Amino acid sequence: MWQALVLTLFPEMFPGPLAFSLAGRALREGRWALAVHDIRSHGKGRHRTVDDTPFGGGAGMVMRPDVVDSAIAATVPAGDARPLVYLTPRGRLLDQAMVRELARGPGVVLLCGRYEGVDQRVIEARAMREISIGDYVLSGGELAALVLLDACVRLLPGVMGAAESAEEESHAAGLLEYPQYTRPAEWQGRSVPAVLLSGHHAEVARWRREQAEAATRERRPDLWNRLPTHTG
Ligand code: 9D3
C-alpha cells in the first residue's frame, strides 16, 4: 500500500482538508495510509526546543539538524524505499510529471519546515529531494505537503473513476482545459455557446480544442511554447 509519513511541528493539520476530498474517502477505504509524527517530540531540553538562530546572522530561526535527524531516525525504518521529500521554497517546482513518479512508488516521507527552514546539513546527509509548490511565500511546508498528497493520491489505483483516469491520460498533453457550462442554458442574459447545444460532436470537439489552445497561448506562453508543434 502507498504509505505517506509526514514529519511536522503541526500534526493537527493532517489530514485536514484531505478528509473532504477524494483522498479522504480513499484513506477511509484503506487505499493508502497516512502517518503523522510531531517533530517537537525530539526537541531539546525542558522546552523541547527545535530551532536556533542562523549562523552568519539574519532574521528568524532555523530548525536544528540533530532534532530533524532524530525525528527521521525514529520513524523511517532502515532500508525504507520511500523518497524523503523536504518541502521548501528553495526546491524544484512540483509538476504533474513529478506527481506521477511519486504516486507510482511505495509512498513518500514528507518533511515540513517552519521558521526560515531546516539546517542544510541534514538535508544533504539524508539525501532529501527538495520540492516547492510554486513561486509564492507560504508560512511553512504543511500546506505544500497537503497539496502534494492530494495530487498523488488521486492517481492511485481505485481512487479515481476509470472514466476520469482515461480523461487524465488524454489531458497530459500540456494544454489548459476548455471552459465548462451547465444548466440553465441562459443565465442573467448570458447564453451557453450555441455549438455546445447543437449535438454536433465533431464541431463540439473542434470548438473545445480551439478554446483550449487560445487559453494556453494567452495565459500560459510557457506551456504553449513547449508544445511540439509550436517550438522553434
Ligand atoms: C526570507 C526568505 N524566505 C524565502 C522566500 C524565507 C522563507 C519563507 C517561507 C522560508 C520558508 C518559508 C515557508 N515556506 C515553505 O516552507 C514552503 C513553500 C513556500 O513558501 N512556497 C512554495 N512552496 C513551498 S514548500 C514549503
Q: pLDDT, tens digit, for every residue of 46-56?
A: 999 999 999 99
- Size of the chain, expressed as the number of residues it contains: 232
Q: What is the pLDDT of residue 109?
A: 99
94 lines ligand 1 (CB under 6 A): no
Task: Return the C-alpha torsion angle 212, 177, 135, 37, nearest 10.
Answer: -170
Domain boundaries, the chain: 2-153, 173-226
CA dist 227 and 163 (Å) reads: 25
How many CB atoms within 10 Å of residue 121? 12
Spatial CA neighbour of 118 closest among 90, 77, 78, 148: 90
- In the reported structure, the alpha carbon of residue 62 is separated from the centroid of ligand 1 by a whole-number distance in angstroms of 12
Ligand 1 atom with minimal separation from the 133 CA: 23
CATH architecture for residues 173-226: Orthogonal Bundle (1.10)
Is it the case that residue 167 has pLDDT exceeding 80?
A: no
Q: How far is the CA of 86 from the centre of ligand 1 (A)?
A: 11
* CB-ligand 1 contact for 117 (6 Å cutoff): yes
Chain CA centroid to CA 91, Å: 13
What CATH fold (topology level) applies to the domain 2-153? Answer: Alpha/beta knot (3.40.1280)
Q: Cα(12)–Cα(178) distance, rounded to whole angstroms?
A: 38
Read off the pLDDT of residues 184-221 as tens digits, 9 standing for 90 and up. 999 999 999 999 999 999 999 999 999 999 999 999 99
Do 131 and 148 touch, CB atoms closer than 8 A?
yes
**Does the pLDDT of residue 162 top 80, yes or no?**
no
Name the pTM for this structure: 0.96
Contact between 13 and 87 (Cβ < 8 Å): no
